[in-house]
């Protein structure tokens, strides 16, 4: 997974996965993507960056269950607690954490939970019931997809367990396009 340069095969797979959408009419264009990045102090990881610039800014078809939201949007079930989202601050996790069951290695777990929700990631969409998919844009997990729920968070990719999917945005979309369950390892 190269998060700084889009692989041609990844871009071709993304185009194929979203062929029934608007034919690129919703794509933001490079000027808008660069303006978003400058405003937020980030560079979006590839191939997502090229996807929103050239292909589509969201999709009703998915992934996830309720569709891919646009770059500046949040899912309809997002619980907006008024906390300002700051994409330039690093996403705080590097491993799964089920905060419903333990406080993890944190002195102030509530602060870390707020950071998981609001720092260093864009929200790609929801499977409903506060089960959201995030693309990390800042920090050690940059380029990685995370499944964040009201009870915990975990990275998505075969090396983390629970799924056979390749990591990153292209792997996440490919897994969905193949019709596989998100967590297909038992």
Q: Which two tokens stand for residue 164?
A: 């056979």
Task: For residue range 99-134, list pLDDT tens digits in order.
Answer: 988 878 888 999 999 999 999 999 999 999 889 999
The pLDDT assigned to 79 comes to 73
CATH topology of domain 8-177: SMI1/KNR4-like (3.40.1580)
Model pTM score:
0.94
Task: For residue range 50-72, list pLDDT tens digits in order.
Answer: 999 999 998 887 788 888 999 99
Decide if 126 contacts 182 (C-beta within 8 A): no
Q: How many C-beta atoms lie closer than 10 Å to residue 48's C-beta?
A: 26
- Find residue 174's DSSP bridge partners: none
**Burial (CB count <10 Å: 0-12, 13-18, 19+), residue 97:** buried
Per domain, the residue ranges of the chain are 8-177
Considering only the C-alpha atoms of the chain, give the largest distance between any 2 of them, rounded to a whole number of Å: 49
Mean pLDDT (the chain) is: 91
């Amino acid at each position: 997974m190269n998060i700084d340069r889009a692989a041609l095969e990844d871009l071709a797979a993304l185009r194929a996965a979203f062929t029934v959408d608007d034919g690129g009419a919703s794509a933001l264009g490079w000027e808008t993507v660069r303006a978003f990045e400058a405003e937020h102090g980030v560079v979006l990881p590839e191939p997502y960056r090229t996807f929103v610039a050239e292909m589509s800014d969201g999709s009703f078809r998915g992934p996830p269950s309720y569709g891919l939201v646009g770059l500046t949007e949040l899912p309809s079930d997002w619980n907006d607690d008024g906390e300002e989202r700051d994409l330039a601050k690093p996403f705080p996790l590097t491993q799964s954490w089920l905060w419903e069951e333990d406080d993890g290695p944190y002195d102030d777990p509530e602060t870390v939970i707020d950071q998981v929700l609001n720092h260093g990631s864009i929200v790609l969409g929801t499977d409903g019931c506060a089960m959201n998919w995030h693309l990390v844009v800042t920090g050690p997990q940059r380029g990685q997809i995370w499944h964040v729920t009201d009870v915990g968070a975990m990275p998505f990719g075969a090396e983390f367990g629970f799924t056979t999917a390749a990591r990153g945005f292209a792997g996440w979309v490919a897994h969905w396009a193949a019709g596989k369950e998100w967590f297909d390892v038992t």
